[in-house]
Chain A
Amino acid sequence: MLFVLPQVVGLLLFIAVPLVASFGYSFTKWDLIAPDPTFIGLGNWAHLLQDGRIPAVLWNTAKFILLGTSSFLFFSLLAALLTYVPRRFVGVYRALLFLPYVISQIAVGIVWRWMFNSQTGPITLGVELFGIHSPAWLLDPATAILSIAAVTTWQAVGYGMTLYVAALQGVPTTLLEAATIDGANWFQRFRNVTLPMISPTVFFLMVTSLIGALQLFDPVVAMTTSNAGVAGAGGPSNSTRSIVLYMYNQMFNYSEQLSGLGYAAAIAWMLAILTFVISALQFFVSRRWVYYDGADRGRQRNPRKRRTRP
């Protein structure tokens, strides 16, 4: 008990207490300046349902999830497939791919903002070298969220690759050899042997990257903020304002009837509930496609039931 005490105290102080407190604040109105919060019952929650900006910021976040999470999962796997087999300089390739992950998101955002500059950016100039008219990237509502998703994918690929490499190296070669003897081609081996064997890793990355994507904030601020500050971020034409950025705006930038900690806490809890629901859904669906080598999940969950079966 004594050994786990520091961890329990830390969890209570830094996780449980803030969670409970923020839930309590969601029933109050507080601009941080008044001496105390004012209890307003379900006022913030009712406003949440009526706030016409919420669907827009949720849709922006959903677009980012669809683009960012799927591309992250795909390109991480691609990078892992290219680098998991030991060969010359593979360590260097992996290190280079992992390098962006250790850089701060703000620094990455600022650099890529320059890369995407629609007048002088290397990407724009590169595209135009081939005689193709380059989109305005971060200045075009149609491509801004795509550009941000591309950058977050670029930054996170190294992390995903590392986990995939570990998973791929754990795939028994005997299974692959057996499949080869049975006449399976490369794609069939990948589809029917490798992918099921690494499915727990795919699932883990899917859940965690989706949770991260729901919390999109830093890249948007770094890549869309003008000199007007965070209050003006989320453009062009509101196309990249995420739910967390909107929460920040309501917390610090706006001076509306319910702006402040209370409404921001309600938004945060809505996001937490959304995250829980989506994650739960993922876990539910995962039973159909995630394969845990050597484990019968049903039996693991209720071993007694199995033992009493005749």
Chain B
Amino acid sequence: MGHIKRGLIGIVAAAALLLAAGCTTTGGDSRQNLRVMLWGNSTDIASIKAPAAAFEKAHPEIKIVWETGDCGVDYAACKTLVAGKNMPDVVVPGSWNYYDMVNDGVIADLGPFLTKSNVDLGDFTPLVVKALTSPKDGTVHALPMGYNVQSLYYNKAMFAAAGLAEPPADGSYTYDDLRAWSKKLTIDENGNNAESPNFNPQKIKQYGYFNFAAGLIQPGYAPILAAFGGGILGGKLGDQCIIDKPQTIAAFQYIQDLMWKDHSTITPQLQQEEPGYSRWIKGQVAMQQGSHEQVQQVADQNPTLKYDMAALPAGSAGNATLIQIHNWAMYQGSKNKDAAWEFIKYMATEGSGKQMGLIPAYKDVALGSAFAQGAGEPSHLVDAQVTPAGWPKSFTNVDPANVWAAVSGQDGFGPALEDVMSNRKTAEQALSGLCASKINGVLKLQK
């Protein structure tokens, strides 16, 4: 037994030595480590590291330790990091889970830092600042990295081939126009468009339109709902059910008709087979509703595609679009708050640019030649993506009451949405009375 024990002791000693070696820092570096967690693809991450390099140069006392993880895009990942006491100093919350972090006290109130610095919130896009300002107490817990705006992308060659004028860049057209174009631009294998009596909806080779509503997600359908004067949740905190408003029902019916009556739009089933945005990039779809991130995707996947963009059209209530914000925020429990603030401040102001393919929210960076006239940017970028942020009916997808996940899931309107988008029920059948019968009960269960 003696030799076994000696062997075991040797193994344990070797393991301890290895562990100690792994835990030892490289030494000699007296800089303060700042852990920053990013998410996104490699292009997104590179777009952040470029301005951050300038920050590190300007702040030689700070060393950024980059990490990649889902905290910011998926709040569940943040929870496990916090519980494991392994939360980084800086994270990038999306507007969709910003208030999860605010209400749970995960990210720090930036008020004290804003007060003692020269950062003026008035220098940022007003809608963005409004979204980040808590409706409960007026606190601000993040600065914007940038935002994306839902716009209409269109294939110039397909419009020309159909003899159609391109959509007005400023959004001075209607959803009825979009529907008519979509029918003209949907073509079967015999060359008939969706207006033709000989049109064969089983053999479509070119679709007129794609909207992420086919993926049952909010950025897809929400702008149409708002343009029609409807929505899912209303009220100051976004905790009042309005999904069965006639305007909401009309908007959902409009989307269903595009998909199933006109056969001119990608359905959930087609979306499942191959995402509509991918079909658009390949040149199989004439129009799509999308955000600025698509510009980079086209550049990467099909740089020969001739396209441009326009602001979203007007519905019965006017023009509206959805804005999603990516933000810089610091962990409430960070021991490097001053360094974190310096980093956040720099990235949101001086370093503002094309981080994660977003529209910069700082001053007029988005209008500057480096951004708006940058290589590969569509010519109507400002009209389609920047100006709509100032529309009165434009809105963000912040969730101050933290109810969206439950309301949009299987306990909430998820099944009704599936019924509408899959053409099992009309919007009226699926949504009428849904607030009283279901959603209000779900809202009552929330904190």
Contact = CB atoms under 8 A, between A and B. Distances in A.
A117 B272 contact: yes
A33 B410 contact: no
A241 to B, nearest CB: 5
B76 A255 contact: no
B408 A231 contact: yes
B100 interface: yes
A235 B414 contact: yes
Contacts of B405: 231, 253-255
B419 A237 contact: yes
Contacts of A249: 409
A196 interface: no
A252 B446 CA distance: 14
Given A119-B273, A226-B215, A232-B216, A256 B105 contact: no
Contact of B80 (A32, A113, A254): A32
B79 A237 contact: no
B132 interface: no
B4 interface: yes
Nearest to A261: B83
B270 interface: yes
A257 B8 CA distance: 50
B402 interface: yes
A228 interface: yes
Given A226-B215, A238-B415, A232 B79 contact: no
Interface residues of A, number: 36
Interface in A93-146: 113-114, 117-121, 136, 139
Interface residues of B, number: 43
B445 interface: yes
A231 B74 CA distance: 11
Nearest to B332: A33
A225 B404 CA distance: 16
Nearest to A57: B410
A227 interface: yes
A15 B443 CA distance: 37
Interface in B398-442: 402-403, 405-406, 408-411, 414-415, 418-419, 422, 424
B406 A226 contact: no
A238 B419 CA distance: 12
Contacts of B106: 33
B406 A253 contact: yes
B82 interface: yes
Nearest to A138: B272
B406 A32 contact: no
B414 A228 contact: yes
Contacts of B256: none
A200 interface: no
Contacts of B212: 227
Contacts of A256: 406, 445-447
Interface of B: 1, 4-5, 8, 74-76, 79-80, 82-83, 100, 104-106, 212, 215-218, 267-270, 272-273, 402-403, 405-406, 408-411, 414-415, 418-419, 422, 424, 445-447
Given A118-B269, A119-B273, A255-B447, 7 more contacts: A2-B1, A33-B105, A120-B269, A139-B424, A232-B408, A234-B409, A252-B76
12 contacts: A113-B272, A114-B272, A114-B273, A117-B272, A121-B273, A226-B217, A227-B217, A228-B215, A234-B409, A236-B419, A253-B409, A257-B446
Interface of A: 2, 31-33, 53, 113-114, 117-121, 136, 139, 226-229, 231-238, 241, 249, 251-257, 261
Interface pairs A-B: 3 shortest CB-CB: A227-B215, A252-B76, A119-B269
